[in-house]
């Protein structure tokens, strides 16, 4: 059922709201469009078309488009501009910068989607902030990041976020800070802490540990440095 009005912004672990949107690639229903394909998707909002920081972000997203595709992850942009503005801006990027934007951009000129997702923030004008939503193939919101309008995003971090979430799902583990280049355990992953005394004793025998509550391991098929 399609959500209307402002409502409450979605939270991590909840289903992404069902919305029908107009995009530069035609009308789409989210998250059904991607659930049907078994795909992850990253929905990201930008303050406005024909602005310098947003232009650099779109070029950066497109330059990593194939890397997202390899992860089975689609990209979807959004701003409160009309679809005509989106189309013209995409044309300008191709003609002036030589980059063809291959992902759809939602035209939210009524502001309906922006209100639903909490993209209009007080004291930041009427444009959307730079939000990022990572949604898994079940349509569950797995991660979200909000940036102020004046700060451009690090697209490599968004790629790392999707890759990390997929690693967590596939291996039943957690990822450390800056994974896969952590200061303590490199590209290894963290074993979830033991919940009882017996498991705590067994953990230190099964894995490499700093203590029973901080154990780690290599992913299958991964080689350590120098191997």
DSSP code of 25?
T
Give SS3 for 123. Answer: coil
Residue 41: CB atoms within 10 Å = 25
How far apart are alpha carbons 56 and 207 in whole angstroms?
44
**What CA–CA distances, in Å, run from 61 to 55, 66, 75, 145?**
10, 10, 8, 16
How far apart are alpha carbons 12 and 71 in whole angstroms?
20
Among 54, 73, 209, 215, the active-site one is 54
Q: Are 117 and 17 contacting, i.e. CB atoms less than 8 angstroms apart?
A: yes
Exposed / middle / buried, residue 137 (Cβ in 10 Å: 0-12, 13-18, 19+): middle
Q: Is 54 tagged catalytic?
A: yes
Give SS3 for 74. Answer: strand
Query: Concatenated DSSP letters for 148-195?
Result: -TTS---HHHHHHHHHHHHHHHHHT-B--TTTTSBTTTBT-EEEPPPS
Residues identified as active-site: 54
């Amino acid at each position: 059922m399609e959500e209307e009005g402002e409502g409450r912004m979605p939270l991590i672990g909840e289903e992404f709201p069902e919305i029908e949107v107009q995009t530069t690639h035609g009308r789409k229903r989210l998250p059904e469009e991607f659930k049907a394909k078994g795909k992850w998707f990253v929905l990201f909002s930008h303050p406005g078309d024909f602005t310098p920081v947003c232009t650099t972000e779109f070029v950066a997203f497109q330059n990593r488009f194939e890397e997202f595709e390899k992860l089975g992850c689609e990209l979807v942009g959004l701003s409160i501009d009309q679809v005509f503005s989106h189309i013209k801006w995409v044309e300008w990027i191709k003609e002036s910068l030589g980059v063809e934007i291959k992902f759809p951009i939602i035209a939210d000129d009524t502001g309906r989607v922006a209100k639903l997702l909490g993209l209009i923030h007080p004291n930041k004008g009427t444009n959307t902030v730079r939000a990022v939503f990572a949604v898994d193939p079940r349509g569950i919101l797995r991660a979200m990041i909000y940036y102020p309008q004046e700060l451009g995003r690090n697209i490599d971090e968004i790629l790392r976020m999707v890759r990390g979430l997929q690693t967590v799902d596939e291996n039943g583990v957690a990822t450390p800070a800056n994974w896969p280049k952590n200061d303590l355990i490199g590209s290894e992953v963290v074993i979830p802490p033991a919940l009882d005394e017996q498991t705590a004793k067994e953990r230190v025998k099964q894995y490499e540990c700093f203590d029973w509550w901080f154990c780690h391991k290599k992913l299958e098929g991964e080689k350590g440095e120098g191997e």
